[in-house]
Copies of this chain bind each other. A is one copy, B any other.
Amino acid sequence: MSFCLICADQKIFLQRYFMTKSQIQFVLSLSQQKYRKAHNAYLVEGDKNAKEWLASSSSIQMVIALETWLNENRQLLDQHPEAQIVMAKDFELEKSTSLKTAQEVILVVQQAPQYPIKDTNSWALLLEKVQNPGNMGTIIRIADWFGIETIYCTEDCVEVYNPKVIQATMGSFLRVQIHFIQLKDFLDSNKATIYATCLQGQSVHDLKEPKPGIIALGNESVGLSKDLIAAAQYPVTIPGKGKAESLNVAVATGIICAALIR
């Protein structure tokens, strides 16, 4: 039996009033990479993110939310007839979330197909073994801020459908193409200028009118590999005066992008 949640003429029907055990288990399973892969799906949590995703052309499988949230967002929901709408209670959202604090809405979204890599003359990022999901998400947001549409990730980077990555991107995930690459193959065929962020390069502020290329950033602990630095036309450094050994990789990304891309 179906209930009409909001009103019949909005054509939003609920299959049932509250979540079933197996729905909770399904949603919760998507906080693990193996299940995201198996179901080709991922989670988007929280009001702001959910609105960004619903306003996009993403294929939404499920919208699980508090009744109040569903009522307030009829119009957005109406744009996604493919989505199953599930009204949930607080404690059900708490049981389903992968985040520390349960949000009022969780979306289950289909993973987009990997698009082929396009040769462009635009700026791009290359991330080598960036492993912290918060950093990855923040970097995707930085790319979006500076109009960078392409991020290449080595295969040992954190998986980008991780809920913490999605959370940190604040919707920018929808506007940036992420390609997972084999570093050796990529470097062999690459023709773009590479700017490699490291501790022993020239000051990033000394490059005059740099031409668009690929800005490379490395792992949180060890930075970029020797191979990548050797392949770069410009090893670049952020000059500092203090005693900190390094900067957070997302902060470094922001500083290098701001210095190179005007």
A63: interface (CB < 8 Å) = no
Q: Which residue of B has the minimal Cβ distance to A144? A: B244
Q: Which residue of B has the minimal Cβ distance to A240? A: B145
For window 172-195 of A, CB contacts with B under 8 Å fall at 172, 175
A146 and B241 contact, CB distance less than 8 A: yes
B243 and A141 contact, CB distance less than 8 A: no
Rounded to whole Å, the gap between the CB of A171 and the closest CB of chain B is 8
A247: interface (CB < 8 Å) = yes
Residues of B within 8 A of A261 (CB): 241
Rounded to whole Å, the gap between the CB of A218 and the closest CB of chain B is 16
A226: interface (CB < 8 Å) = no
A248 and B141 contact, CB distance less than 8 A: yes
A238 and B251 contact, CB distance less than 8 A: no
Residues of B within 8 A of A168 (CB): 248
Contact among B238, B244, B248 for A258, CB-based, below 8 A:
B238
Rounded to whole Å, the gap between the CB of A103 and the closest CB of chain B is 15
Complex-state Cα separation, A170 to B143, whole angstroms: 25
A148 and B244 contact, CB distance less than 8 A: no
A7: interface (CB < 8 Å) = no
- Enumerate the 7 nearest inter-chain pairs by beta-carbon distance, A residue then B residue, closest first: A147-B241, A251-B254, A144-B244, A147-B242, A145-B244, A145-B240, A255-B258
User: What would be 6 A-B contacts, judged by CB atoms less than 8 Å apart?
Assistant: A144-B243, A144-B244, A145-B238, A238-B258, A250-B251, A251-B251
